Structures are given as structure tokens and as C-alpha cells.
């Protein structure tokens, strides 16, 4: 019986933790009324661009992995 | 034609028969003579009469036995035919089972040969993709956390 934690399990663990960090950071921002809408427009759009880029990259990687 | 001398109930007879049948004729005459001698003391005609009656009785017995054995022969023939048919069916079933088993074995061999080769080729790609996804999401998380 193999009990090794393989690379994919480790990567999934990292992804879950990173998503929790993002969720927590966004919840913290929402609970700060004075700064919720205070982020500069440039930062907002940079963040949106980064999220879109990451999502696009994820789609590409998932498609690549599906093709083997 | 062949000439044959027979002696039945003490009287000699000269007969003709086809060539090659002399010994059979002598054998039949011996049977009649034996039956005739079983009634000693009577006239020659009576001896021959009893011999004829006893031979007719033997012939009837033999005929009865043949008729009685015919149904048995029929049922034996039927049993043999049934057994042969069942044996043929069993042989066909066995042959089909062997064929199925060979096909299943080939399939299993193909799966075993393809299995180990296919797995390693896709798994590293998936692992690589997951690691890259983890890198990107961790970088994004760091940026979100650094937002003012």
C-alpha cells in the first residue's frame, strides 16, 4: 500500500490554502467600511486584470492537462 | 454343380448343390440327422416328422427372440443417439467457453500492457498543471492581501 502524498495532492492543498487566503482578505476588506471603496481605481482595475489573467491561465492549464 | 452324399436317420441320399456349398449342406444334414436320432425306435418317417417338428420349434423360438430383442435394440439405438447428441452439445459448449476465455485473456493482456504505459504519460502533465495553478493562485492571494 502506498501512503506517499503525491505532487498533485500537495498542489491541491496549496490551491485550497491560497483560495482561503483570498477569501479571507476580501472578507476583511468588505468589513472595513472606510476603505471598502477607497482603493484607487488603478489598483481595482489592476486586480481585475490579474484575476482575469489567472483565470485564463487556469483554463489553459486545465485544458492542457485534459489533453494529456 | 457338386455331388454330395448325405446320411439322415440311417438312410443315404445323393444330392446336388452349387459348387462351394457342399460343407454347408453337410452341416445342415447333420443337424437334421441329430434331431432324427433323438427319437429312436420309431419308423424312419416318424423320425423325420419329429425332426421336422423340432426344427420348426427351434425356428419359431429364434424368430420370437429376434422380435423381442428388436424393441430393445431400438431403445438402445435411441439412447446412443441421445448420448451422442448430448456429447456433441457439451463439446460445442466447451469449445465456446474456451474461445470466450481466450478472448477475455487477450483483453486482459492488452489492458495490462496499455495500463502501465498510459498512466505515467498523463499523470506528470496533471501534476505539472496543478503545481502551476497553485503558483498562480498563491501569487494572486499575496496581491489581494497587499491591497490597501
Interchain contact, A22 vs B140, CB within 8 Å: yes
Q: How far is A19 from chain B (nearest CA, A)?
A: 7
In this prediction the pTM is 0.38
Q: Which residues of B touch A (CB under 8 A)?
A: 121-123, 125-134, 136-141, 143-145, 147-148
- Kindly indicate whether the ipTM for this predicted assembly is greater than 0.85, answering yes or no: no
Q: What does residue B20 show for φ and ψ, rounded to 5 degrees?
A: 95, -15
Q: Are the CB atoms for B37 and B44 separated by under 8 Å?
A: no
B83-89: long-range contacts at Cβ-Cβ below 8 A with a sequence spacing of 24 or more?
none
User: Mean pLDDT of residues grouped by 10 in chain B (148 residues)?
Assistant: 89 90 93 88 85 92 87 85 86 81 76 60 72 85 81
Grid cell in block for residue B6: 448325405
Interface A-B, measured as beta-carbon pairs within 8 A, has a size of: 80
**pLDDT at position B33, please?**
92
Query: Nearest C-alpha of chain A: how many angstroms from B102?
Result: 31
From B147, B136, B143, B139, select the one nearest A28 (Cα to Cα). Answer: B147
Q: What is the pLDDT confidence band of residue A1, given thresholds at 50, 70 and 90?
A: very low
Search chain A and give the residue with CA nearest B133: A58
Judged by CB atoms closer than 8 Å, whether chains meet at A54 and B148 is answered as no
| Cβ proximity of B141 and A22 under 8 Å | yes
Amino acid at each position: 500500500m502506498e501512503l506517499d502524498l503525491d505532487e498533485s495532492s500537495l498542489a491541491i492543498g496549496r490551491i485550497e490554502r491560497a483560495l482561503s487566503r483570498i477569501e479571507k482578505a476580501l472578507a476583511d476588506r468588505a468589513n472595513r467600511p472606510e476603505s471598502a471603496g477607497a482603493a484607487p481605481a488603478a489598483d481595482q482595475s489592476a486586480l481585475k486584470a490579474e484575476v482575469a489573467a489567472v483565470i485564463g491561465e487556469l483554463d489553459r492549464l486545465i485544458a492542457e492537462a485534459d489533453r494529456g | 454343380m457338386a455331388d454330395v452324399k448325405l446320411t439322415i436317420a440311417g438312410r443315404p441320399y445323393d444330392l446336388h448343390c452349387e459348387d462351394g456349398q457342399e460343407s454347408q449342406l453337410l452341416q445342415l444334414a447333420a443337424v437334421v440327422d441329430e434331431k432324427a436320432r433323438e427319437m429312436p425306435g420309431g419308423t424312419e418317417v416318424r423320425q423325420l416328422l419329429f425332426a421336422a417338428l423340432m426344427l420348426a420349434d427351434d425356428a419359431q423360438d429364434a424368430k420370437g427372440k429376434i422380435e423381442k430383442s428388436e424393441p430393445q435394440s431400438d431403445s438402445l439405438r435411441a439412447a446412443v443417439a441421445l448420448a451422442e447428441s448430448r456429447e456433441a452439445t457439451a463439446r460445442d459448449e466447451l469449445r465456446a467457453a474456451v474461445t470466450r476465455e481466450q478472448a477475455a485473456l487477450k483483453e486482459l493482456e492488452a489492458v495490462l500492457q496499455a495500463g502501465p504505459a498510459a498512466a505515467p504519460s498523463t499523470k506528470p502533465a496533471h501534476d505539472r498543471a496543478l503545481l502551476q495553478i497553485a503558483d498562480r493562485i498563491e501569487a494572486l492571494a499575496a496581491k489581494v492581501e497587499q491591497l490597501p
